[in-house]
Amino acid sequence: MTPSVDALAAGIRSGDRRSLARAITLVESTRDDDQALAAALLDDLVADAGGALRVGITGSPGVGKSTFIEAFGLHLVDEGHEVAVLAVDPSSQRTGGSILGDKTRMPGLASSPHAFIRPSPSGASLGGVARRTREALTLCEAFGHDVVIVETVGAGQAEGTVADLVDVFVLLVGPGGGDDLQGIKRGIMELADVVVVTKADGDLAGTARHTAADYRHALELLRPKAGADTAPVLACSSVARSGIAEVAATVVRLRSDWAASGRLAELRAGQATAWMWHDVEARLGDALRRSGGVRALAPELEARVADGSLSPTTAARRLVDAFWAETRGAPD
């Protein structure tokens, strides 16, 4: 049985990990009554949130994301931080449960009393994962985590969404350049606040340095404004634990510069209001897609729009008309 909202809120404020885990399960639930409880809990805790350094980390499979997060997170724990890791993977269908997977791939963090790892909820859409992650982040901040790492797989639509959740967005790339961006979505590079070349050790140390210089040059060329800052490019080795402290110091410095300049407050206010309107649209869209009239019409209209025999505008008007007729409970 789920404890009451008051008990969960008190548990989270007192630093009880089990309350935090249960509260995240509650926000992940799609049941209407759970959603109402989750909303009440978030309303209670929202004023306690906002204090963490929120770091997004992305990179394609094979780039060494897990070992990087393990090294980066443990470094932050050693410096006295309380670290949460939230995974965002809308395609997550790992067999055997992803909790085991996440605990295995980050063993040091998984066993640290100062770290909390939460895998991606399975079976949810990107919108659902994004909402849960935004809410879990609030819960972790209220709990007392002062660093929240949001990890994404780097292969899909999720990166833009994660960039809209965090203060600093870190892109991991492998040594060797372009080939290691295989699978990375167009536009990710330009979302990055910091680029980190991984595996800068042993035989690959020279290649990694070279790759970092290449990225520096490419980002300089692509910078949005003359004179504007470009994303720092660093190299590190998660295995040798070299360069990790520099990455952490860079992320912390960017965030504190932005806090001092007002950019952080502006960024977060913009993220929150954008999310509010985004959520409004998603709720309206959900209601529309649940409508029987829309479901009856949509397949044929979509096919005709795709083959060019019907204008998208007309199809949209018909769908919305069908929705209004049903919502108002009367033919139009």
* Binds a second copy (CB under 8 A): choice among 280, 290, 295, 300: 280
Under the binding rule (CB under 8 A), the answer on residue 310 touching a second copy is yes
Backbone angles phi, psi at 150, to 5 degrees: -110, 115
Count of CB atoms within 10 A of residue 200's CB?
A: 24
How many Å is the maximal CA-CA distance in the chain? 72
| CB nearer to a second copy: pick between 1 and 186 | 186
Under the binding rule (CB under 8 A), the answer on residue 277 touching a second copy is yes
Paired tokens of 81:
């931080």
Number of residues in contact with a second copy under rule CB under 8 A: 72
Q: x/- site string to a second copy, residues 138 to 177, per CB under 8 A?
A: x--------------------------------------x
Q: x/- site string to a second copy, residues 61 to 100, per CB under 8 A?
A: ----------------------------------------
Q: x/- site string to a second copy, residues 185 to 204, per CB under 8 A?
A: xxx-xxx-------------
Under the binding rule (CB under 8 A), the answer on residue 309 touching a second copy is yes
Q: What angle do CA 8, 136, 41 make, to 5 degrees?
A: 35
Smallest gap from residue 52 Cβ to a second copy (A): 12
Under the binding rule (CB under 8 A), the answer on residue 305 touching a second copy is yes
Rounded to a whole number of angstroms, the distance between the first and last alpha carbons of the chain is 46
Smallest gap from residue 123 Cβ to a second copy (A): 20
| CB nearer to a second copy: pick between 99 and 316 | 316
Under the binding rule (CB under 8 A), the answer on residue 218 touching a second copy is yes
| CB nearer to a second copy: pick between 1 and 228 | 228
| SS3 of 156-200 | CCHHHHHHCCCCEEEEEECCCHHHHHCCCCCCHHHHCCEEEECCC
> Is the distance from CB of 217 to CB of 189 less than 8 angstroms?
no
* Binds a second copy (CB under 8 A): choice among 16, 146, 214, 246: 214
Under the binding rule (CB under 8 A), the answer on residue 308 touching a second copy is yes
- Cα separation, 215 vs 92, in Å, equals 30
Paired tokens of 258:
């932005």
Going by C-alpha positions, the residue among 50, 54, 57 that lies closest to residue 196 is 57
Q: What angle do CA 212, 84, 253 make, to 5 degrees?
A: 45
- Cα separation, 183 vs 300, in Å, equals 33
> Is the distance from CB of 56 to CB of 170 less than 8 angstroms?
yes
List the interface residues with a second copy, window 96-135 (CB under 8 A): 131, 134-135
Smallest gap from residue 180 Cβ to a second copy (A): 8
Element of type H or E holding 231: none
> Is the distance from CB of 312 to CB of 305 less than 8 angstroms?
yes
- Which of the 8 DSSP states describes residue 310? S
Going by C-alpha positions, the residue among 226, 230, 161, 235 that lies closest to residue 196 is 235
Q: For a second copy, which stretch binds (CB under 8 A), given 17-25, 121-129, 145-153, 320-328?
A: 320-328
Q: x/- site string to a second copy, residues 12 to 51, per CB under 8 A?
A: ---------------------------x--xx--xx-xx-
| CB nearer to a second copy: pick between 241 and 268 | 268
* Binds a second copy (CB under 8 A): choice among 124, 127, 268, 297: 268
* Binds a second copy (CB under 8 A): choice among 85, 145, 288, 291: 288
Under the binding rule (CB under 8 A), the answer on residue 184 touching a second copy is yes
Under the binding rule (CB under 8 A), the answer on residue 283 touching a second copy is yes
> Which residue(s) pair with 196 in the sheet?
172, 234
